[in-house]
Structure 1
Amino acid sequence: MNKQETGDSGARTLRRGLHILAALRGAPDGLDILGIARALAMQRTSVYRYVSVLVEEGYATRGPDDGKYRVASAWAQPADARALSVAQLAPAMRRISDETGDSSFLISRVGSDSLCLHREIGSYPVQVLAVTIGHRQPLGVGAAGLALLAALPADEAEAVMQQNREALRSYGNMTIARMRLLVKATRDRGWSVVGNAAVPGVLGVGVALRDAAGYPRLAVSVSCIVDRMPAARQRTIAELIRRETGAVA
């Protein structure tokens, strides 16, 4: 096969993937494999291969109950919207870090991952800076990611955990069963409290931020060494995050 033929094949593959995404965007209730195949006049085996890649890369999700595929909600928020989120929330995060003396982090969801959009550094001599701007990790890992995962609708959160089943093992040998317990505790408490699986001796508190429609799209967390995060301070920090971000979230 020459280069021209290879290029044409790649273009066709991309085009089919985009057509599937367009079909999913036009079906808020989701589509199963047969529905996608009928809508696009494609073979079911081909559709399955394409949607498997879309799910794996975080562009689509599969409902655990109905088995239908949907566009991952995170991709409804374009890059310029994320930049606006940083511009709006950076001053609040600066105040949070000034008051606590610790680092604060802003994350958004990208498919089944969390993406660090911004961070502020506090004044305390020991700062926890394990997550850098642009860092991606499975949603649910870290305080902000856990807060965001727990705030999702139950079926959507379960789908994310299933997608991340293998990836989670790299973070303290995390399992879906353990992650479900963390999600439940976060929902019951109203904010997340979690240690950093990559950095022992670190604890973070995270709060999900909802958009005007009530959907959780962002989360803010504060992380520090465990000795600086007793239970009473965890609550104080969660309330501080809510207070400072409430007017702009």
Structure 2
Amino acid sequence: MDAGSSGGGSRTLSRGLTVLSALGTDPEGLTVAQLADRTGLDRAVLYRLLTTLCEEGLAVRDNDSLRFRLGVALVALGAGAARGLPVRRHARPGMRALMEQCREAVCLAVRDRDHAVVVDRVEPPGRSARIGYHVGLRHPLDRGAHGKAVLGSLEDGDPALAAFESASPELPNGYAVAEGDLEGGIVGVAAPIREADGTVAASVGIVAPATRLPDAGALGPSVRALADEVSRRLADGESRAGSAARRTEHAGDGAGDGRGTGNAAVPVRPRQT
């Protein structure tokens, strides 16, 4: 086995991703000593990995503080990943409509195992109070309205449930409300979005200062309606994709006898003698 591989994958790549994940936990950056504590990797290994990550723009080094932090190259990668998410495409129009209704930030978060990751946010211009629930933020499912909306909708036996000691939150009205979980003075209300097969893939909702949204639950029905609409759009998109695939398959089956697309049989005129 290659010295740089472990099992079926690359050990070096795995270590590099571990370093990036650690750097992502602290916007101020981490020293090599701190990275060694958090990752368990040898300092010599870390220096080699960090050299490559910096060369590729995935990490940067502050010469004054000797700290490393995530590089701007990851911004482009993250933006590309977010743009490619079907749930973002289907949710965007409704998010804008809900934002116009409530005049507060509307955010979309997708599930990543036992965490939620914010992938989109729309907000009205001119709002003086800013909130920290920004695109790229990653947090456990038991924190915040978006996380709790997903956690409270998981099926029994889902591996993510084992990661949390407390019971999954109840969603009697189909949405979750949370205040101060991730940021003091901030309240959120969110509802789960389901894939075509019924699995919970994401959550969408409103995040705002509690002083501007004293009764967040009052917006719960509107948030739930948006989540249900996005779920329907995802199911319809999956259904159309499946139908198109079946049509293509059937067309290919008939290609040999002239029934396939692009290979129509040409009638042969009888030779005249």
**TM-score using structure 2 length:** 0.52
Match of 2:220 in 1: 238
- RMSD across aligned positions (CA): 2.7
Give the residue type in structure 2 aligned to 1:248: V
Aligned pairs (5 A) from 1:102-121? 102-121=104-123
8 Å contact kept, 2:145–2:176 = yes
Q: CA deviation at 1:211?
A: 1.9
Choose which of 221, 229, 236 in structure 1 pairs with 2:213.
229
8 Å contact kept, 2:82–2:88 = no
Q: Could you say what secondary structure the match of 1:104 adopts?
A: strand
| Counterpart-to-counterpart distance in 1, 2:184 and 2:178 | 11
Q: Could you say what secondary structure the match of 2:90 adopts?
A: helix
Q: CA deviation at 1:220?
A: 0.4
Give the residue type in structure 2 aligned to 1:218: A
Q: CA deviation at 1:212?
A: 2.1
Q: CA deviation at 1:10?
A: 2.5
> Cα–Cα, structure 1 residues 97 and 91, in superposed 2: closer, same or farther, change >3 Å?
same
Aligned pairs (5 A) from 1:200-239? 200-231=184-215, 233-235=216-218, 237-239=219-221
Aligned pairs (5 A) from 1:139-178? 139-156=141-158, 159-163=159-163, 176-177=165-166
Q: Could you say what secondary structure the match of 1:155 adopts?
A: coil
Unaligned runs of 5+ in 2: 12-80, 232-273
2:180 equivalent to 1:193: no
8 Å contact kept, 2:115–2:141 = yes
8 Å contact kept, 1:102–1:124 = no
8 Å contact kept, 2:144–2:182 = no
Match of 1:11 in 2: 5
Bigger Rg, which one: 2
The CA deviation string for residues 64-92 of structure 1, in whole angstroms up to 9 with x for no partner, is xxxxxxxxxxxxxxx58952221111111
2:249 equivalent to 1:247: no
Q: CA deviation at 1:11?
A: 2.1
Give the residue type in structure 2 aligned to 1:108: V
8 Å contact kept, 2:4–2:10 = no
Between the aligned residues of both structures, percent identity stands at 20
Structure 1 or 2: more helix by fraction: 1
8 Å contact kept, 1:128–1:202 = no
Q: Could you say what secondary structure the match of 2:230 adopts?
A: coil
| Counterpart-to-counterpart distance in 1, 2:174 and 2:227 | 15
> Cα–Cα, structure 1 residues 230 and 83, in superposed 2: closer, same or farther, change >3 Å?
same
> Cα–Cα, structure 1 residues 139 and 82, in superposed 2: closer, same or farther, change >3 Å?
farther
> Cα–Cα, structure 1 residues 81 and 152, in superposed 2: closer, same or farther, change >3 Å?
farther
Aligned pairs (5 A) from 1:94-133? 94-123=96-125, 125-133=127-135
Give the residue type in structure 2 aligned to 1:246: D
8 Å contact kept, 1:128–1:223 = no
Unaligned runs of 5+ in 1: 18-78, 166-175
Q: CA deviation at 1:139?
A: 1.6
Total equivalences in the alignment: 162
8 Å contact kept, 2:143–2:182 = no
| Counterpart-to-counterpart distance in 1, 2:84 and 2:141 | 17
Q: CA deviation at 1:242?
A: 2.7
Q: CA deviation at 1:14?
A: 4.0
**TM-score using structure 1 length:** 0.57
Q: CA deviation at 1:124?
A: 6.8
| Counterpart-to-counterpart distance in 2, 1:197 and 1:10 | 41
The CA deviation string for residues 181-226 of structure 1, in whole angstroms up to 9 with x for no partner, is xx33x32342111113332111110100112222211100201122
- Greater relative CO (CA pairs within 8 A, separation 6+): 1
Q: Could you say what secondary structure the match of 1:114 adopts?
A: strand
8 Å contact kept, 2:192–2:227 = no
